[in-house]
Structure 1
Amino acid sequence: MQLTLPTVLTLGRLVLVPVLVLLFYLPFEWAGPAAAVVFALGGLTDWLDGYLARRLNQSSSFGAFLDPVADKVMVAIVLVMLVQANPYIWMALPAMVIIGREIVISALREWMAEIGQRAQVAVSSLGKIKTVAQIAALLLMLYHDPIGALPTFLVGVALLYLAAVLTLYSMVVYLRAGWSAANRAEEEAASP
């Protein structure tokens, strides 16, 4: 397997995770903003690797597997760190919804691939909106410090709740599509 530039960028996003964790827990005033910068860099590489894979015609099955893994690892770890730093139910609820949904949808996609219906649970535009809200929320919450009169952490929490609602809605959409596709596959298998 040849490593392409998009795949190297995706691997770089995974390498950023321990750097992000280290920065988050440093006992310095600049630690939160520095962690936010690393998270933003991860978000930028997420956009850039997909763009370059399409633009340079360097899509690969390994890259298609690794990209969502890198995204989910980074998001889940940031959510866990934020819940640990803010151990309240109002913080744990959206984190549980987002992480739980990712596990359910990953399992659904794997199952749908097994029955030859993977395309039925492809990423939708709603999923992309959810991702933007989620990334913006986590970025603002990592930064934490107000920017002028803007209470970044509170805006981040509001966006995190928006992302959680969109997460639940998109999960229902995916599960309905999966259910329909599974029923069709069973009917086709049963017919002579």
Structure 2
Amino acid sequence: MWTVPNCITLFRVILIPVFVVVYFLDWRWAHEAGAFIFWLAAITDWFDGYLARKLQQSTPFGAFLDPVADKLIVGAALLMITHSYANLWITLPSIALLVREIYVSALREWMGSNGVRDAVKVSFIGKAKTTAQMLALIGLLSGLETFMGITIYWVSLGYILLYFSAVLSIWSMFVYTKAAWPHLRSGATK
């Protein structure tokens, strides 16, 4: 259970309350520091998966905890940007992303309990959605439009990527549903 990849995943879970507290500190760079912690968590997500494959340390505990850690920190970040921006243009795609995560998680759980989980395994669209979503959240959490006097438009890019990830999210939800539909309709059994 205490493999290097699992320890990295646990570190990501521990980062969640740190991320939330730092983001809401009454401090000039709190949002930027929170965005950095979120970025660190996003990097560890890639890194723990890479190490699990490279070191052949995949475990049932890691397979369970990794997606849970991802959904927890992304869910927290979506709630935080919804609170910080408090506008419809952030709230709508955030809700779409949260709804999709809950729906696809439930779909995968049902498919797994019926022995056909491979029909809804992670696709390229899902990976592209996750990448766009992470970059959007880093930009929106940071609130940066300039850095050291240089215009970088992080927030503007964050808005664009948030909508892009919401579109990919809804698209992937339909792709997973289509793949699962024969099993849902027939009541798949093991």
TM-score interval, normalised by the smaller of the two chains: over 0.9
- Provide the residue aligned with 1:64 in structure 2: 63
Aligned residue identity for 2:106: A
Aligned residue identity for 2:165: A
Deviations 1:61-117 (A, max 9, x none): 110110000000000001101111111111110110000000000110111011111
Q: Contact conserved, 1:115 with 1:182, CA < 8 A, in 2?
A: no
Aligned residue identity for 1:93: L
Aligned residue identity for 2:62: G
Task: Write out aligned runs for 1:1-192 (5 A).
Answer: 2-147=1-146, 148-183=150-185, 186=188
Query: Residue 182 of structure 1: CA displacement?
Result: 3.2
Deviations 1:38-66 (A, max 9, x none): 01110111011000000000001110110
Normalised TM-score (structure 2): 0.94
Q: How many residues align?
A: 187
Q: Contact conserved, 1:140 with 1:156, CA < 8 A, in 2?
A: yes
Q: Take 1:130 and 1:182, find their aligned partners in 2: how far apart are those partners?
A: 24
Q: Take 1:105 and 1:94, find their aligned partners in 2: how far apart are those partners?
A: 16
Deviations 1:121-145 (A, max 9, x none): 1000111000000000001111112
Q: Take 2:107 and 2:144, find their aligned partners in 1: how far apart are those partners?
A: 38
Q: Secondary structure at the match of 1:57?
A: coil
Q: Take 1:5 and 1:150, find their aligned partners in 2: how far apart are those partners?
A: 36
The sequence identity of aligned pairs, in percent, is: 44
Q: Take 1:124 and 1:62, find their aligned partners in 2: how far apart are those partners?
A: 22
Q: Contact conserved, 1:120 with 1:181, CA < 8 A, in 2?
A: no
Query: Residue 184 of structure 1: CA displacement?
Result: 5.7
Q: Secondary structure at the match of 1:59?
A: coil
Deviations 1:150-184 (A, max 9, x none): 22111101100000000000000001111123346
Q: Contact conserved, 2:144 with 2:152, CA < 8 A, in 1?
A: no
Listed as ranges, the gaps of 5+ residues in structure 1 are: none
Q: For structure 1, which segment, 24-33 or 57-66, has the greater mean C-alpha deviation from structure 2 after superposition?
A: 24-33
Q: Contact conserved, 2:119 with 2:180, CA < 8 A, in 1?
A: yes
CA RMSD across the alignment: 1.4
Q: Contact conserved, 1:127 with 1:167, CA < 8 A, in 2?
A: yes
Listed as ranges, the gaps of 5+ residues in structure 2 are: none
